[in-house]
Structure 1
Amino acid sequence: MSEPHIRAATAADTDRVYEICRRTAAAGEDGSHLYSDPRMPGYLYSAAYLKLQPDCAFVLDIDGQAAGYVIGTPDTAAFEARLLDEWWPWVRRQTEGMQISRPKDQMAADRIARPRAQAPGILADYPAHLHINLLPQAQSGGWGRRMIETQLENMRRRGVSGLHLGLDPDNHRAAGFYRHIGFTDISPADQMIYGIRLDG
């Protein structure tokens, strides 16, 4: 058994990232019951980063497998453009003929058909973004904070001026955590978004 540690993600972590995303897809709790396709949360929120932005993908390794991840991109607008060209067409092929039978299936189908872009007003000051999810066994010992710090330092090395992340409005514990480590609420009317400046 090895000590838990943060390392760069690799392609071999992809299946585990899909699993972690599914098992944290209900405001940090297991969302397996919400989607008919067990890979759907990963299609929407995580797996693209391992393929398109692997230099900004890190995992928490516990006993040789990922128990959490922090993923992101320094340039959200450019990443969204790549998703339109390189990711969403592939996802549409994977999910063709999906039957709408679970609570989040329609939302997922709509998102795949019409991907959303982040508001320019957010990107002007917070052009980068990240996602982080940890399985329950990794949600202690300060690993969440250390993973965030790993990504923030990675972004600073790239000259990023500011970074944002989206939150499920029901995930009140996460909101408190982000405020505690220096993020501020920059939410527009229709989303819950926290941001942090990296150039000050």
Structure 2
Amino acid sequence: MPSTQPTFTVRGYRPTDRAALEDICVRTAHAGADATGHYREPEIFPAIFATPYAVLEPELTFVADNGERAVGYIVGTADSTRYYAEFRERWLPTVADRFPAPTPPFAGADDGLRHLLHHAEDMLVPEIAAEYPAHLHIDLLPEGQRQGLGRRLMTAFTDALRARGVPGLHLSMNPANTNARAFYDRIGFTELPRPAGKSDVDYLAIRL
């Protein structure tokens, strides 16, 4: 019998998507590849970069669904300054016991991630957020790639931002993730000058 290709849909996030959201994040966290085996506790990645957005701003979380489960997502915020304040006040207390803050001196990437969880506001770059207040994270499993889903997720997200009158959107990314960079270039993001102290991260932005 001929194989049937899944029909992908892009839809709003549901609380039942949370496990899939977290799984996707782990499986794409190592410069676009699976973080499992590269970190002691790869499950910390969604605690920083995925789940808090779905909890704090679910209306700006969208998933790509293959008919059975989510295989990709876009998460973000309309106001980065507000988001990091809410992260500390509302989200961090729910995960701090699971991922305690490390004691200096830090030992490797895992301690660095724990430190970042407890100081997520360090990711805020005020001069960028002033001009491009929204930011995002987008990830797709291999089965959802090259299907046009990245562009569809981005359209759903940016349409929601425009409806709120948000003037600009930015993101930060690992320079090693060249496939993601090519995607952002194609849809009109431009590179920003690197802020002081951010030598290992690329910043891209687009006006809405």
- Whether the TM-score (by the shorter chain) exceeds 0.5 is yes
More moved, 167-176 vs 46-55: 167-176
1:9 and 2:19 aligned: no
Identify the residue that residue 43 of structure 1 maps to in structure 2.
Answer: 47
Q: Is the 8 A contact 2:9 2:66 kept in 1?
A: yes
In 1, Cα distance between equivalents of 2:141 and 2:130:
33
1:106 matched residue in structure 2 = 111
1:196 and 2:201 aligned: no
Contact 1:50–1:57 (CA<8 Å) still a contact in 2? yes
Tell me the CA shift for residue 38 of structure 1.
3.9
Percent identity among equivalent residues? Answer: 34
CA deviation profile, 1:79-110 (whole Å, cap 9, x unmatched): 11100101112221122498xxx963111121
Which of 85, 90, 101 aligns to 1:86? It is 90
Unaligned runs of 5+ in 1: none
Q: Tell me the TM-score normalized by structure 2.
A: 0.88
TM-score (norm 1): 0.91
Q: Alpha-carbon deviations, 1:167-197, whole Å to 9, x = none?
A: 1110112112111111000142413111000
Partner of 2:27: 23
Task: Tell me whether 128-137 or 29-38 shows the greater mean CA deviation.
Answer: 29-38
Point out 4+ residue stretches in structure 1 off by more than 4 angstroms: none
Q: Structure 2 stretches of 5 or more lacking a match? A: none
Q: In structure 2, how many angstroms separate the alpha carbons of the residues matched to 1:187 and 1:144?
A: 25
Q: Is the 8 A contact 1:184 1:194 kept in 2?
A: yes
For 1:3 and 1:79, how far apart are their aligned partners in 2?
A: 34
Counterpart for residue 124 of structure 2: 118
Q: Secondary structure at the match of 1:195?
A: strand
Q: CA deviation at 1:35?
A: 2.6
Q: For the Cα contact (< 8 Å) 1:35–1:103, is it kept in 2? A: no
Q: Is 2:78 the partner of 1:74? A: yes
How many correspondences in the alignment? Answer: 196
CA RMSD of aligned residues (A): 1.9
Cα distance change on mapping 1:13 and 1:175 into 2, 3 Å: same
After TM superposition, the structure 1 stretch with the greater mean CA deviation from structure 2, 110-119 or 6-15, is: 110-119
